[in-house]
Amino acid sequence: MTVLNCENAQSDSERGFCPLRASVAVTVGVGATAAVVVAALVQAAGDDPIGAALSVAVPAEYRALIEEAGNTCPEVSPNLLAALLQQESGFNPGARSPVGAQGIAQFMPSTWESHGIDANGDGKRDVWDPEDAIPSSAKYLCTLSEDVKGVPGNRQHNMLAAYNAGSGAVQKYGGVPPYEETQNYVRTISAAAGTSSGGKRTATTQQAATAIAAARSMLGRPYSWGGGNVHGPSTGICCSPNGSSGAAITGFDCSGLTLYAYAQAGITLPRTAAAQYAATEPVRNPRPGDLVFYGSTPASIHHVGIYVGNGWMIDAPRPGTTVRYSPMDTMSDLFAVGRPIPQHHKEI
C-alpha cells in the first residue's frame, strides 16, 4: 500500500489531458449518487489567473463593491451577499417592492433610516445608490447576526431569516421561523451562495483566502512524492507507483500542498487526496479555496488542487513539475469539488 495517492503518470496522454478551451463544462460525480456541472471558465490569464472571489454571477459594476462588503464580518461572504442581492432585486438599483422596500438591497425606509450608511463618503445616505446600499446591506446583516447569535441552529441561516422576517421572529421561534416565504428565502440564498444546507461548519471565506495565499507563496516549488507537511515543503519518500522518488527533493506532492495551505488557515486535513475528499462537503457552486478532486470513485481519488476562480486551481501536478496554476480540465476525470469541514470525516 502506498502512503499517498497523487498523480503519477509521466505523459500527457497517460494523464488524460484535455485540450485547453476557452470555456468548458465539466460533469463532476459526487459520491455515487449525483452529478454536478461545474462551469470552468478557462481564460488566457498569464502568470496569475485568479480572476475573482465570486462564483455567483454578478454584474461587473457591482463586483468590487460586493467583494469588499462581503468581508464585513465572518457570517457574511461575497457569495452570500451577492446571492441575497440577486434574490432581493435582481441587482436592480431602482427596484421598489409593493410594500415599499427600496433599492438594490430592498431596505424598508424605517430600516434604512436606522442602518443605512454613507459608504462612498459623498455626504449623503442614498438607498438608491448601490455604493451606499450594498455596504449598508452587509453591515445590516452583521448587525442581525449579532442579534440572533444566541439562537440555536445555523447562524447564517438565522441571519438571513432575520433579514427577511426580522430578528424578533427568529428569536421567537428559536431559529428560522415557520413562514414559507422565509424558509424559501433562506434555502434559495444558501443554495446560490454554496453554503451547506445541513448546517455543517465548513471553511470560511477568510480561511479559504488564507489557504490560497499560502499555496500561492509556494508557486515554483518542485514536486516531491510524499513531500510537504503542515510546516511547508519537505523531502519526500520512495517511491511512487511509477518509480519516482521524492527522497532527495524538498517540495510538495498534490495533497501535501493542500495539507500545508489549509494548516495555515487553522484547518487540519488528512494526508492523502482520497482522505481529504472524505473531509470535505461537496458543493455545487465552487468558490475560491475549495478543493478540486480527480478520480472515478471516492476511494480512487488520485489528485487534488485548490480552486482559485475562473476555472483555475493551484496544484502540484506530478514528478518533474513544480507547484503551478493549472486549468480545472487539465485531467479528464474531474470527480468533485469540496469545501473542507474541520474535524469531519465521511466514509469512502
Whether residue 113 has pLDDT greater than 70: yes
Which pairs with CB-CB distance under 8 Å and at least 24 residues apart come from 62-66? 62/91, 62/104, 62/130, 62/134, 65/130, 65/131, 65/134, 65/135, 66/134
pLDDT in tens, 131-177: 999 999 999 999 999 999 999 988 999 999 999 999 999 999 999 99
For residues 142 and 149, is the Cβ–Cβ distance under 8 A? no
pLDDT reported for residue 3? 31
Beta partners for residue 326, in sequence order: 313
Whether residue 40 has pLDDT greater than 60: no
Averaged pLDDT score across all residues of the chain: 81
pLDDT in tens, 42-77: 232 334 443 345 666 789 899 889 988 988 898 898
C-alpha dihedral, 45 to 47 to 49 to 50, nearest 10°: -150
- Alpha carbon distance 220, 222 (integer Å): 6
For residues 329 and 26, is the Cβ–Cβ distance under 8 A? yes
pLDDT in tens, 117-140: 999 999 999 999 999 999 999 999
Question: In residues, how long is the chain?
Answer: 348
| First-last CA distance in the chain | 17
- CA dist 20 to 17, 44, 149, Å? 9, 10, 47
Q: Per-residue confidence at 319, pLDDT binned at 50, 70, 90? A: very high
Handedness of CA 253, 258, 263, 269 (dihedral sign): negative
- Alpha carbon distance 124, 136 (integer Å): 13
Residue 77: which of 156, 146, 175, 167 has the closest Cα? 156
Whether residue 16 has pLDDT greater than 60: no
- Compute and round to an integer the Cα radius of gyration of the chain: 22
Beta partners for residue 339, in sequence order: 281
- Looking up cell 421598489 gives 96
Instruction: List the grid coordinates of 283.
Output: 458543493
Phi and psi, residue 259, nearest 5°: -60, -50
Quick count: other Cβ atoms within 10 Å of Cβ 69?
24
Whether residue 346 has pLDDT greater than 80: no
Q: What is the maximal distance between C-alpha atoms in the chain?
A: 70
